[in-house]
Structure 1
Protein backbone atom coordinates (compact mmCIF):
# COMPACT_ATOMS: atom_id res chain seq x y z
CA UNK A 1 0.00 0.00 0.00
CA UNK A 2 0.98 3.60 -0.59
CA UNK A 3 -0.08 6.34 1.84
CA UNK A 4 -0.17 10.09 1.34
CA UNK A 5 1.55 12.07 4.10
CA UNK A 6 -1.35 14.36 4.88
CA UNK A 7 -1.69 16.17 8.20
CA UNK A 8 -5.24 16.46 9.54
CA UNK A 9 -6.65 19.79 8.28
CA UNK A 10 -7.03 22.53 10.88
CA UNK A 11 -9.17 25.66 10.89
CA UNK A 12 -6.55 28.39 10.91
CA UNK A 13 -7.33 32.02 11.71
CA UNK A 14 -4.03 33.01 10.05
CA UNK A 15 -2.09 30.67 7.73
CA UNK A 16 1.28 30.79 6.01
CA UNK A 17 -0.42 32.12 2.88
CA UNK A 18 0.72 31.63 -0.71
CA UNK A 19 4.40 30.74 -0.88
CA UNK A 20 5.00 31.43 -4.59
CA UNK A 21 8.56 30.40 -5.51
CA UNK A 22 8.75 27.84 -2.70
CA UNK A 23 5.59 26.07 -3.89
CA UNK A 24 6.79 26.18 -7.51
CA UNK A 25 10.06 24.49 -6.54
CA UNK A 26 8.12 21.79 -4.67
CA UNK A 27 5.82 21.18 -7.65
CA UNK A 28 8.80 20.94 -10.02
CA UNK A 29 10.77 18.72 -7.64
CA UNK A 30 13.70 21.08 -7.09
CA UNK A 31 15.53 20.32 -3.84
CA UNK A 32 15.08 23.19 -1.40
CA UNK A 33 17.90 25.25 0.02
CA UNK A 34 17.81 27.13 3.35
CA UNK A 35 17.23 30.44 1.55
CA UNK A 36 14.05 29.04 -0.06
CA UNK A 37 12.32 28.56 3.28
CA UNK A 38 10.99 31.53 5.27
CA UNK A 39 12.87 31.97 8.55
CA UNK A 40 9.65 32.76 10.37
CA UNK A 41 5.91 32.71 9.83
CA UNK A 42 3.01 34.11 11.83
CA UNK A 43 0.25 31.57 12.38
CA UNK A 44 -2.86 31.66 14.51
CA UNK A 45 -5.55 29.19 15.43
CA UNK A 46 -7.65 27.96 18.32
CA UNK A 47 -5.73 24.74 18.86
CA UNK A 48 -2.38 23.45 20.04
CA UNK A 49 0.14 22.98 17.22
CA UNK A 50 0.37 19.33 16.13
CA UNK A 51 3.60 17.42 15.56
CA UNK A 52 2.69 17.17 11.86
CA UNK A 53 1.01 20.26 10.48
CA UNK A 54 0.03 22.04 7.31
CA UNK A 55 -0.59 25.78 7.38
CA UNK A 56 -1.02 26.43 3.67
CA UNK A 57 -0.46 24.84 0.28
CA UNK A 58 3.11 23.54 0.35
CA UNK A 59 3.76 24.70 3.92
CA UNK A 60 4.19 21.51 5.94
CA UNK A 61 6.02 21.48 9.22
CA UNK A 62 6.96 19.10 12.01
CA UNK A 63 7.76 19.59 15.67
CA UNK A 64 11.03 18.41 17.18
CA UNK A 65 9.18 15.16 18.08
CA UNK A 66 7.99 14.74 14.47
CA UNK A 67 11.51 15.37 13.24
CA UNK A 68 12.94 12.73 15.59
CA UNK A 69 10.39 10.18 14.35
CA UNK A 70 11.14 10.91 10.68
CA UNK A 71 14.89 10.72 11.30
CA UNK A 72 14.45 7.32 12.94
CA UNK A 73 11.97 5.85 10.44
CA UNK A 74 13.34 7.42 7.23
CA UNK A 75 17.05 8.02 7.89
CA UNK A 76 18.71 10.35 5.40
CA UNK A 77 15.47 10.88 3.44
CA UNK A 78 14.30 14.22 4.83
CA UNK A 79 15.98 17.64 5.01
CA UNK A 80 14.86 19.86 7.88
CA UNK A 81 14.90 23.65 7.96
CA UNK A 82 14.46 25.40 11.33
CA UNK A 83 11.56 27.82 11.29
CA UNK A 84 10.35 30.27 13.88
CA UNK A 85 6.59 29.90 14.10
CA UNK A 86 5.18 33.10 15.56
CA UNK A 87 2.15 31.72 17.34
CA UNK A 88 0.29 32.61 20.53
CA UNK A 89 1.83 30.88 23.57
CA UNK A 90 -1.30 28.74 24.03
CA UNK A 91 -0.64 27.13 20.62
CA UNK A 92 3.00 26.19 21.20
CA UNK A 93 3.37 22.51 22.09
CA UNK A 94 7.04 21.86 21.25
CA UNK A 95 10.46 23.43 21.70
CA UNK A 96 11.20 23.69 17.97
CA UNK A 97 9.51 23.42 14.57
CA UNK A 98 10.92 22.56 11.17
CA UNK A 99 9.88 22.95 7.57
CA UNK A 100 10.87 19.75 5.78
CA UNK A 101 11.74 18.57 2.29
CA UNK A 102 11.56 14.91 1.26
CA UNK A 103 14.58 14.00 -0.87
CA UNK A 104 14.01 10.54 -2.47
CA UNK A 105 12.07 10.17 -5.72
CA UNK A 106 10.21 7.08 -6.83
CA UNK A 107 7.80 6.37 -9.67
CA UNK A 108 4.77 4.40 -8.48
CA UNK A 109 1.89 6.09 -10.33
CA UNK A 110 0.52 3.62 -12.86
CA UNK A 111 0.27 5.99 -15.81
CA UNK A 112 -1.20 3.29 -18.07
CA UNK A 113 -4.19 2.80 -15.72
CA UNK A 114 -4.70 6.43 -14.61
CA UNK A 115 -6.58 9.02 -16.68
CA UNK A 116 -4.34 11.75 -18.08
CA UNK A 117 -4.72 14.93 -20.10
CA UNK A 118 -2.33 17.07 -22.14
CA UNK A 119 -0.38 19.85 -20.43
CA UNK A 120 0.07 23.27 -21.99
CA UNK A 121 3.76 23.08 -21.11
CA UNK A 122 5.66 20.61 -23.25
CA UNK A 123 8.65 18.59 -22.06
CA UNK A 124 12.00 20.43 -22.17
CA UNK A 125 12.94 18.60 -25.38
CA UNK A 126 9.62 19.41 -27.09
CA UNK A 127 7.88 16.09 -26.51
CA UNK A 128 4.24 15.99 -25.48
CA UNK A 129 3.71 16.29 -21.75
CA UNK A 130 0.72 14.79 -19.95
CA UNK A 131 -0.52 15.05 -16.37
CA UNK A 132 -3.12 13.34 -14.25
CA UNK A 133 -6.63 14.24 -15.29
CA UNK A 134 -7.75 14.56 -11.67
CA UNK A 135 -6.45 15.26 -8.19
CA UNK A 136 -3.87 12.83 -6.78
CA UNK A 137 -6.48 11.74 -4.21
CA UNK A 138 -9.07 10.77 -6.85
CA UNK A 139 -9.76 7.01 -6.87
CA UNK A 140 -9.17 6.95 -10.64
CA UNK A 141 -5.44 7.52 -9.99
CA UNK A 142 -3.79 4.12 -9.70
CA UNK A 143 -0.50 3.16 -8.08
CA UNK A 144 1.79 0.23 -8.72
CA UNK A 145 2.76 -2.04 -5.84
CA UNK A 146 5.70 -1.09 -3.68
CA UNK A 147 8.96 -2.78 -4.56
CA UNK A 148 11.88 -3.60 -2.26
CA UNK A 149 13.75 -0.53 -3.54
CA UNK A 150 10.83 1.84 -2.84
CA UNK A 151 12.06 4.36 -0.23
CA UNK A 152 10.21 4.60 3.10
CA UNK A 153 9.16 8.16 2.12
CA UNK A 154 9.30 9.83 -1.31
CA UNK A 155 7.97 12.32 -3.82
CA UNK A 156 6.79 10.98 -7.17
CA UNK A 157 9.06 11.28 -10.20
CA UNK A 158 7.97 11.99 -13.75
CA UNK A 159 7.85 9.11 -16.20
CA UNK A 160 9.66 9.60 -19.49
CA UNK A 161 8.77 7.60 -22.57
CA UNK A 162 10.18 8.11 -26.08
CA UNK A 163 7.25 10.23 -27.26
CA UNK A 164 5.72 11.59 -24.07
CA UNK A 165 6.64 12.88 -20.62
CA UNK A 166 4.19 12.16 -17.79
CA UNK A 167 4.44 15.02 -15.29
CA UNK A 168 3.26 14.91 -11.69
CA UNK A 169 3.42 17.57 -9.00
CA UNK A 170 6.18 16.69 -6.56
CA UNK A 171 4.59 18.61 -3.69
CA UNK A 172 2.83 15.44 -2.52
CA UNK A 173 4.70 13.18 -0.10
CA UNK A 174 4.11 9.42 -0.08
CA UNK A 175 4.90 6.77 2.50
CA UNK A 176 5.30 3.03 2.49
CA UNK A 177 2.60 1.25 4.48
CA UNK A 178 4.87 0.39 7.42
CA UNK A 179 6.20 3.97 7.62
CA UNK A 180 2.70 5.42 7.77
CA UNK A 181 1.60 2.85 10.36
CA UNK A 182 4.59 3.69 12.58
CA UNK A 183 3.96 7.45 12.35
CA UNK A 184 0.25 7.02 12.98
CA UNK A 185 0.96 4.89 16.06
CA UNK A 186 3.26 7.59 17.50
CA UNK A 187 1.05 10.53 16.54
CA UNK A 188 -2.55 9.25 16.64
CA UNK A 189 -5.14 11.50 15.09
CA UNK A 190 -2.60 13.79 13.41
CA UNK A 191 -2.46 12.20 9.94
CA UNK A 192 -5.25 11.48 7.47
CA UNK A 193 -5.47 7.75 6.71
CA UNK A 194 -5.46 8.07 2.91
CA UNK A 195 -4.04 5.03 1.16
CA UNK A 196 -3.82 3.94 -2.45
CA UNK A 197 -3.95 0.34 -3.61
Structure 2
Protein backbone atom coordinates (compact mmCIF):
# COMPACT_ATOMS: atom_id res chain seq x y z
CA UNK A 1 0.00 0.00 0.00
CA UNK A 2 1.35 3.43 -0.98
CA UNK A 3 0.64 6.81 0.63
CA UNK A 4 1.50 10.32 -0.53
CA UNK A 5 2.43 12.95 2.03
CA UNK A 6 -0.02 15.85 2.02
CA UNK A 7 -0.02 19.37 3.44
CA UNK A 8 -0.46 20.01 7.15
CA UNK A 9 -3.94 19.54 8.63
CA UNK A 10 -3.24 22.61 10.82
CA UNK A 11 -4.65 25.96 9.69
CA UNK A 12 -1.78 28.43 9.50
CA UNK A 13 -2.71 32.13 9.51
CA UNK A 14 0.44 33.18 7.69
CA UNK A 15 3.08 31.27 5.76
CA UNK A 16 6.25 31.97 3.81
CA UNK A 17 6.22 30.51 0.31
CA UNK A 18 9.61 29.47 -1.10
CA UNK A 19 10.60 30.94 -4.50
CA UNK A 20 9.25 29.42 -7.72
CA UNK A 21 12.79 28.40 -8.68
CA UNK A 22 13.02 26.06 -5.68
CA UNK A 23 9.61 24.59 -6.48
CA UNK A 24 10.70 23.92 -10.08
CA UNK A 25 13.89 22.24 -8.89
CA UNK A 26 11.86 19.89 -6.72
CA UNK A 27 9.45 19.08 -9.56
CA UNK A 28 12.38 18.28 -11.86
CA UNK A 29 14.36 16.38 -9.23
CA UNK A 30 17.26 18.86 -9.07
CA UNK A 31 19.00 18.78 -5.66
CA UNK A 32 18.38 21.87 -3.57
CA UNK A 33 21.15 24.05 -2.13
CA UNK A 34 21.17 26.13 1.03
CA UNK A 35 20.58 29.32 -0.99
CA UNK A 36 17.29 27.85 -2.29
CA UNK A 37 15.85 27.90 1.24
CA UNK A 38 14.24 31.05 2.71
CA UNK A 39 16.67 32.35 5.32
CA UNK A 40 14.06 33.52 7.82
CA UNK A 41 10.66 32.07 6.90
CA UNK A 42 7.80 33.63 8.88
CA UNK A 43 4.81 31.64 10.03
CA UNK A 44 1.86 32.50 12.23
CA UNK A 45 -0.65 30.08 13.75
CA UNK A 46 -2.81 29.71 16.82
CA UNK A 47 -1.10 26.57 18.10
CA UNK A 48 2.26 25.35 19.32
CA UNK A 49 4.77 24.99 16.49
CA UNK A 50 4.71 21.32 15.43
CA UNK A 51 7.87 19.22 15.42
CA UNK A 52 7.23 18.42 11.77
CA UNK A 53 4.95 20.28 9.37
CA UNK A 54 4.15 21.02 5.74
CA UNK A 55 2.41 24.41 5.96
CA UNK A 56 2.45 24.85 2.17
CA UNK A 57 3.36 22.71 -0.81
CA UNK A 58 6.88 21.28 -0.71
CA UNK A 59 7.87 23.28 2.39
CA UNK A 60 8.67 20.66 5.03
CA UNK A 61 10.33 21.74 8.25
CA UNK A 62 11.30 19.93 11.44
CA UNK A 63 12.53 20.76 14.91
CA UNK A 64 15.47 18.98 16.54
CA UNK A 65 13.04 16.38 17.93
CA UNK A 66 11.40 15.94 14.52
CA UNK A 67 14.78 15.45 12.89
CA UNK A 68 15.77 12.85 15.48
CA UNK A 69 12.64 10.80 14.77
CA UNK A 70 12.94 11.08 10.99
CA UNK A 71 16.56 9.93 11.12
CA UNK A 72 15.44 6.96 13.21
CA UNK A 73 12.63 5.98 10.83
CA UNK A 74 14.33 6.80 7.51
CA UNK A 75 18.12 6.89 7.97
CA UNK A 76 20.01 8.34 5.01
CA UNK A 77 16.83 9.30 3.12
CA UNK A 78 16.73 13.00 3.95
CA UNK A 79 18.74 16.22 3.70
CA UNK A 80 18.39 19.05 6.22
CA UNK A 81 18.99 22.76 5.64
CA UNK A 82 19.20 24.96 8.76
CA UNK A 83 16.88 27.95 8.88
CA UNK A 84 15.75 30.62 11.33
CA UNK A 85 12.03 30.00 11.75
CA UNK A 86 10.28 33.25 12.73
CA UNK A 87 7.11 32.69 14.73
CA UNK A 88 5.44 34.49 17.66
CA UNK A 89 6.65 33.51 21.13
CA UNK A 90 3.09 32.38 21.87
CA UNK A 91 3.67 29.44 19.48
CA UNK A 92 6.40 28.09 21.81
CA UNK A 93 9.05 27.49 19.13
CA UNK A 94 11.95 25.10 19.60
CA UNK A 95 15.54 26.33 19.41
CA UNK A 96 16.46 24.87 16.01
CA UNK A 97 14.61 24.13 12.77
CA UNK A 98 15.53 22.65 9.41
CA UNK A 99 14.00 22.60 5.96
CA UNK A 100 13.74 18.97 4.83
CA UNK A 101 14.32 17.46 1.40
CA UNK A 102 13.67 13.81 0.59
CA UNK A 103 16.72 12.39 -1.18
CA UNK A 104 15.76 8.74 -1.61
CA UNK A 105 14.57 7.67 -5.05
CA UNK A 106 12.65 4.66 -6.31
CA UNK A 107 10.60 3.65 -9.33
CA UNK A 108 7.35 2.00 -8.30
CA UNK A 109 4.85 3.32 -10.88
CA UNK A 110 4.12 0.59 -13.42
CA UNK A 111 4.17 2.64 -16.61
CA UNK A 112 3.31 -0.37 -18.78
CA UNK A 113 -0.02 -0.88 -17.01
CA UNK A 114 -0.88 2.77 -16.26
CA UNK A 115 -2.73 5.05 -18.65
CA UNK A 116 -0.49 7.86 -19.92
CA UNK A 117 -0.72 10.96 -22.12
CA UNK A 118 1.92 13.02 -23.98
CA UNK A 119 3.42 15.95 -22.08
CA UNK A 120 3.87 19.37 -23.69
CA UNK A 121 7.48 19.33 -22.50
CA UNK A 122 9.57 16.79 -24.34
CA UNK A 123 12.58 14.94 -22.90
CA UNK A 124 15.84 16.97 -22.96
CA UNK A 125 17.06 15.02 -25.99
CA UNK A 126 13.82 15.57 -27.92
CA UNK A 127 12.17 12.22 -27.25
CA UNK A 128 8.47 12.05 -26.44
CA UNK A 129 7.73 12.48 -22.74
CA UNK A 130 4.61 10.99 -21.18
CA UNK A 131 2.87 11.42 -17.81
CA UNK A 132 0.00 9.75 -16.00
CA UNK A 133 -3.37 10.49 -17.58
CA UNK A 134 -6.34 12.19 -15.96
CA UNK A 135 -5.81 12.88 -12.29
CA UNK A 136 -2.23 11.63 -12.29
CA UNK A 137 -1.36 9.64 -9.18
CA UNK A 138 -4.97 10.09 -8.03
CA UNK A 139 -6.27 8.60 -11.27
CA UNK A 140 -5.73 5.38 -13.21
CA UNK A 141 -2.27 4.53 -11.90
CA UNK A 142 -0.83 1.07 -11.34
CA UNK A 143 2.05 0.23 -9.04
CA UNK A 144 4.62 -2.53 -8.96
CA UNK A 145 4.83 -4.81 -5.96
CA UNK A 146 6.50 -3.32 -2.88
CA UNK A 147 9.80 -5.10 -2.21
CA UNK A 148 11.99 -5.17 0.93
CA UNK A 149 14.66 -3.00 -0.71
CA UNK A 150 12.25 -0.10 -1.26
CA UNK A 151 13.11 2.92 0.94
CA UNK A 152 10.50 3.93 3.55
CA UNK A 153 9.81 7.17 1.67
CA UNK A 154 10.92 8.30 -1.75
CA UNK A 155 10.43 10.49 -4.80
CA UNK A 156 9.75 8.69 -8.08
CA UNK A 157 12.43 8.68 -10.76
CA UNK A 158 11.75 8.94 -14.48
CA UNK A 159 11.80 5.89 -16.71
CA UNK A 160 13.85 6.31 -19.87
CA UNK A 161 13.29 4.07 -22.84
CA UNK A 162 14.72 4.37 -26.35
CA UNK A 163 11.69 6.20 -27.76
CA UNK A 164 9.95 7.68 -24.73
CA UNK A 165 10.56 9.24 -21.32
CA UNK A 166 8.00 8.63 -18.53
CA UNK A 167 7.84 11.56 -16.12
CA UNK A 168 6.37 11.94 -12.63
CA UNK A 169 6.76 15.18 -10.68
CA UNK A 170 9.43 14.76 -8.00
CA UNK A 171 7.42 16.95 -5.64
CA UNK A 172 5.25 14.01 -4.57
CA UNK A 173 6.64 12.16 -1.56
CA UNK A 174 5.60 8.51 -1.58
CA UNK A 175 5.63 6.39 1.57
CA UNK A 176 5.33 2.76 2.49
CA UNK A 177 2.29 1.92 4.58
CA UNK A 178 4.25 0.94 7.70
CA UNK A 179 6.39 4.08 7.55
CA UNK A 180 3.37 6.37 7.33
CA UNK A 181 1.65 4.63 10.25
CA UNK A 182 4.75 4.97 12.42
CA UNK A 183 5.27 8.60 11.41
CA UNK A 184 1.66 9.49 12.12
CA UNK A 185 1.88 7.74 15.47
CA UNK A 186 4.97 9.71 16.48
CA UNK A 187 3.49 13.06 15.36
CA UNK A 188 -0.28 12.74 15.90
CA UNK A 189 -2.31 15.50 14.28
CA UNK A 190 0.74 17.16 12.71
CA UNK A 191 0.78 15.50 9.29
CA UNK A 192 -1.65 14.27 6.67
CA UNK A 193 -1.36 11.66 3.93
CA UNK A 194 -3.54 10.23 1.21
CA UNK A 195 -3.67 6.57 0.25
CA UNK A 196 -3.28 5.86 -3.44
CA UNK A 197 -5.99 3.56 -4.73
CA UNK A 198 -5.21 1.49 -7.79
CA UNK A 199 -8.02 1.15 -10.32
TM-score, normalization: structure 1?
A: 0.90
Tell me the equivalent position of 2:130.
Answer: 130
Question: 1:21 Cα deviation (Å)?
Answer: 0.8
- Paired residues of 2:54 and 2:191 also in contact (CA < 8 A): no
Distance 1:64 1:136, change over 3 A: farther
Aligned residue-pair number: 197
Is there any run of 5+ residues in structure 2 with no aligned partner, and where? none
Aligned residue runs from structure 1 range 100-179, under 5 A: 100-179=100-179
TM-score, normalization: structure 2?
A: 0.90
Tell me the equivalent position of 1:70.
Answer: 70
Q: Distance in 2 between matches of 1:93 and 1:143?
A: 40
Tell me the equivalent position of 2:29.
Answer: 29
Question: 1:9 Cα deviation (Å)?
Answer: 3.0
Q: CA RMSD in A?
A: 1.8
Distance 1:96 1:120, change over 3 A: same
Is there any run of 5+ residues in structure 1 with no aligned partner, and where? none
- Paired residues of 2:5 and 2:175 also in contact (CA < 8 A): yes
- Paired residues of 2:87 and 2:93 also in contact (CA < 8 A): no
Tell me the equivalent position of 2:42.
Answer: 42
- Paired residues of 1:155 and 1:172 also in contact (CA < 8 A): yes
Q: Which moved more, 1:134-143 or 1:172-181?
A: 134-143
Q: Which moved more, 1:185-194 or 1:34-43?
A: 185-194
Tell me the equivalent position of 1:85.
Answer: 85
Q: Distance in 2 between matches of 1:51 and 1:147?
A: 30
